[in-house]
A and B are shown apart, each in its own frame.
Chain A
């Protein structure tokens, strides 16, 4: 494998990993942008999506649906996973975050942390402690670019991520609900005075954000091949780093952040001692937070809110 193939392959690896991080980061950034809460439970929403995906897919496979209606299968799997996690997101918001909207930061974060632990253990108890294997529907087939391999599954996931990101961007910028979300994120008091239903807006955010996380979960499960109850934690941290890196509250920022974190992770392992890969990710996060807390594309966030 010569150098150019090596580089292209690593770029493909980074692009794939980055897309997934970006998708999860989007969910994070949306929620944070609107209620300024780190949704620690987002990793578990991601995992829940993966589990629902596997449940639906296994059921469809049992009835031989997958071969005959491949595209419909994908719709159903993604759709039901996203719908389920949307409901779960709304439920969590209603139970654990809404009552704390006016409380201290500490209380809200701890509630989120508690929810995260509750959900991941709940999934452990209901789905078991071992990995669940995803039925392989994509296989290993792919094609080569300049000597680097990319599978059809990877192509599908990258394209789907792109589609979801563009759809989200369009929704947020052009639809009425999207405008309401942006207004609420900018200034909640003002938005309420202008007649925007804050509760409903937040609820919608908690449907869309987690749903994106769920889509990422299905992708991860489908592509890599297995799901486990605790897989959300590592993704959550990296996605959060990505969201902050790109500028929390900014949608293009989350995408950019995701790509950067994915890139750093892959390129570090590619050229430097791989044992320190995670340390690097954390250090990048800490440096960004120290030097530019608003992130790369974020607005200048003052330390104190008046």
Chain B
């Protein structure tokens, strides 16, 4: 009937719409949440990659090649991320930077692995990302246990606290951190964990949980939350008169935290990569700010820039886009990135030294180095 006819037409129309791309281009795909609650970090990632492409091309690029960045929206959803990954594969990408949520990276890595395309995730911290023996996947951001280790070392040897309270928001990333911190603290037996509280992402009011912690009165409170919640949490903590030291992680290391947190953010400790003051880093920051008309760059912008850069540099060094050779080149070399020195181990994880930063005078300032145990 008429209805069936419409359906047939529809299928035909949809089928006829897919296009293809051109040749002699180095195509870098991105998978990041461009819509949804994590869209800010997702956009930072896309912008970081595009900045890398611009800087790389300006510095000479790869002779004979054009660089094209193809965005993909993972929306922090496994199904959508897989489709986006398949779309990128279909468009002939040579490498992919992404995704952000581990729940998107893991499913999307399967078709990418099958198509043997380099994948560098700038943000997924779940262990399984690199634990499946895929040879072409790399992780630019540090794994949860590495970041947790830096935090615990700082708590034990830097701040020398006796009691610690943990807050997380029941997401993969933050739970990974609090679980690892708990593990290390229990192994070392120098600190006692006096509370593990949870908040819901998207909530604005944390006074109930914070009041509970104020009563317990730990020496330090670890806020395992994302930046929107972290910014609000420090404000409420200070309003309640909480005197414990506040710590958080690299997702909160974002200029928005300074903006929204304001004076309440002062004195918060954050773990983040040691940012080397190199010409490359200054160039990146200058280009990024100019390209995107902003004064602020989030942490994932740095990681994404490095991911794309390492990929392009490796392709140039290997002299080919063949994935196996490029992957080997990435693994065998040490690279200088804007988030520090980049060296990957056999599994694809990055050996990254975190340092402890502090918010001072409305800025992020390096504070303490867990490896050398020295202050800056």
Contact = CB atoms under 8 A, between A and B. Distances in A.
Interface of A: 1, 6, 9-10, 13-14, 16-17, 124, 129-131, 133-134, 136, 140, 142, 149, 151, 220, 224-226, 228, 230-231, 233-234, 265-270, 273-275, 277-278
A131 B231 contact: yes
Contact of B212 (A124, A129, A142, A269): A269
Contact of B240 (A9, A14, A133, A273): A9
A229 B232 CA distance: 16
A230 B205 contact: no
| Majority SS at the chain A contact face | helix
Nearest to B214: A1
The residue among B198, B204, B212, B217 with the most chain A CB atoms within 10 A of its own CB is B204
A274 B214 contact: no
Contacts of B256: 130-131, 133
B211 A10 contact: yes
B40 A269 contact: no
A220 B202 CA distance: 13
Contact of A129 (B40, B200, B262): B40
B239 A149 contact: yes
A306 B52 CA distance: 68
B231 A230 contact: no
B209 A234 contact: no
A149 B200 contact: no
A29 B228 CA distance: 30
A10 B208 contact: yes
Interface residues of B, number: 38
Interface of B: 35, 37, 39-40, 43, 170, 197-200, 202-205, 207-209, 211-212, 214-215, 217, 228, 231-232, 235-236, 238-241, 256, 259-264
Given A13-B205, A225-B262, A226-B228, A140 B238 contact: yes
A274 B211 contact: no
A265 B200 CA distance: 12
B208 A129 contact: no
A225 B43 CA distance: 22
A130 B170 CA distance: 21
Contacts of A17: 205, 207
Contacts of A267: 208
Contacts of A225: 231-232, 235, 260-262
A270 to B, nearest CB: 5
Nearest to B42: A129
Contacts of A268: 208
B164 to A, nearest CB: 17
Given A10-B211, A149-B241, A224 B204 contact: yes
Contact of B239 (A10, A14, A140, A278): A140
A226 B204 CA distance: 9
A98 to B, nearest CB: 31
Given A133-B260, A230-B37, A151 B239 contact: yes
A270 B260 contact: no
A270 B212 contact: yes
A270 B239 contact: no
The residue among A14, A266, A274 with the most chain B CB atoms within 10 A of its own CB is A274
A131 B198 contact: no
Given A131-B231, A234-B202, 10 more contacts: A13-B207, A133-B259, A134-B260, A136-B262, A224-B232, A225-B231, A269-B209, A270-B212, A275-B170, A277-B198
Nearest to B261: A225
A275 B260 contact: no
A39 B311 CA distance: 50
